[in-house]
Chains A and B, each alone.
Chain A
Amino acid sequence: MAHAPAMDGNRQYAHHFLSADHEFETSKQGIWLFLLQEVLFFSPLFVAYYVFRGLHPADWHAAAQLLDWRMGALNTVILICSSLTMALAVHGAQTSNKKKLVVNLILTLGLACGFLVVKYFEYTHKFHMGIYPAGAFTYEGLGQYPAAKLYFSIYYAMTGLHGIHVLGGMAVMLWVLKRAMRGEFNAHYYTPVEMTGLYWHFVDLVWIYLFPILYLLG
């Protein structure tokens, strides 16, 4: 491309910005705008959850009992810890501490894997019981609660969509980790680390709501 990058001190930035800071602030706003659309992206599932909960409170309550709150709590703790390591990774980048950055990124990735492993056991356990989304639902213990199968449809949709976001976050983290190990980030330039952090905290944020409404308060 013919866009020659400009230089700001020892840091280069794209030609249409005025400075490296200007580029950083713009990128950060881009992520916030992306997160705004993420909130709306999740919202129909929350609306559907509350619609059917309002119409069938007893069914909702009965269905929620089948979820193991300990698994949910474990995953909550895992995600909160991953938010911690992510924040520490960003701090490492901001203070040009490469080791801190890399170690914490690896920890975050590990915790994300842990989250998915727990989720995998939860899903397979439910599948063995015949608890699938409504169309394939074969579990018979909730016969008197016909709307319970809708609860699990929404449960799978919400946690599935969240799980996809976890996977996406992990993919981005791998890319950031690769660049971090090459020593590309320091106190002057760490935009991708900061952006990944914002996204990852948002993934945590969604789970902070999913845990109580699905596991505890059904």
Chain B
Amino acid sequence: MAEKHGNHHKHHILAPKIIWTVWALLLIGTALTVGATHFHFGAVNYVIGILIATIKAALVVTFFMGLKYDSNENRVIFLTSFVFVAIFFVLTMSDLFFRGPVEFDNGRFLAAQEAHAAAQSSDPWISTPELVAKGKELYAAQCVVCHGVNGKGDGPAAGALNPKPRNFTAQAGWVNGRKPSEIFGSLTKGLNAMPSFATSPAPDRWALAHYVSTLGPSVLKDSPEDLKKVGAGNASGGGGGEKTLPIDLAIEIMSSEG
């Protein structure tokens, strides 16, 4: 500091013995790093490798570069750089590693939701055992209160409702029809006391529709025209995007609500 300028202090001279010892330790460290990779400890290998490198680096900085004998100012200066590198790492990673699944495909990134949805249920309007099973789960969670465990419209809350909840096991009385696409439509728009489930993902509504249709006396199939009516069968339609309505259906709802 300014006040001490006049003082002559001796520069530190690193003893040759220490120089040679540090050199030997660095060589041993290198041998250890190489040796350690021949054992497979999994992720621990990485930690060991970086740890040894850091010890070697510390030896170089402490003795060869003489930071042990240097001023506090210089120590703070050099170590500061690592603090800022750490900030750089952590905040960059907070983006790159938390973007949600992004997949690497032959030189192109694909938004994973697309790939994910495509792999799981590319056509949720076609009934599969998996979809029915998923529908059953959803039914147990969201529908039993009114429609009852067996779908007879006799859930604990049914008594309070007028008209009564639909009995799925009976042939008669279906306002919109029993085809999966028609059930999907009722779920999406709501019916009488039942609110709209449009905020649930479309594949979930399809799963429910498939499950409910298995409760009836016979399982009906959708024709392509039926599917078209609810906007299924194209990428942005009933099966694709999450929490979205098919556009024609959305327009229909808007016009009916005036």
| B is a partner of A | yes
Assess the B30–A76 pair: CB atoms within 8 A.
Answer: yes
Is A140 positioned at the interface, with any CB of B under 8 Å from its CB? no
What residue of chain A has the Cβ atom nearest to residue B75's Cβ?
A32
What residue of chain B has the Cβ atom nearest to residue A25's Cβ?
B71
Is A146 positioned at the interface, with any CB of B under 8 Å from its CB? yes
What residue of chain B has the Cβ atom nearest to residue A69's Cβ?
B34
Secondary structure of the B side of the interface?
helix
Chain B residues with Cβ below 8 Å from A47 are 88-89, 92
What residue of chain B has the Cβ atom nearest to residue A43's Cβ?
B85
What residue of chain A has the Cβ atom nearest to residue B85's Cβ?
A43
Distance, CA A128 to CA B190, complexed state (A) = 67
Is B217 positioned at the interface, with any CB of A under 8 Å from its CB? no
Q: Report how many residues on chain B are interfacial, defined by Cβ distance under 8 Å.
A: 54
Closest Cβ of chain B to A30, distance in Å, is 10
Is A108 positioned at the interface, with any CB of B under 8 Å from its CB? no
Question: Given contacts A18-B5, A40-B84, A83-B64, are A91 and B16 in contact (CB under 8 A)?
Answer: yes
Closest Cβ of chain A to B228, distance in Å, is 38
Chain A residues with Cβ below 8 Å from B60 are 83, 201, 204-205, 208
Is B150 positioned at the interface, with any CB of A under 8 Å from its CB? no
Assess the A24–B11 pair: CB atoms within 8 A.
Answer: yes
- Cβ proximity bits B77-100 to A, threshold 8 Å, 1 near / 0 not: 110111011001100110011000
Closest Cβ of chain B to A137, distance in Å, is 11
Is A2 positioned at the interface, with any CB of B under 8 Å from its CB? no
Assess the B13–A91 pair: CB atoms within 8 A.
Answer: yes
Stretch touching chain B among A49-57, A117-125, A162-170: A49-57
What residue of chain B has the Cβ atom nearest to residue A81's Cβ?
B23
Given contacts A83-B26, A216-B49, 11 further A-B contacts (CB under 8 A): A29-B71, A32-B78, A50-B89, A51-B96, A73-B34, A84-B19, A84-B23, A87-B19, A87-B22, A87-B64, A217-B50
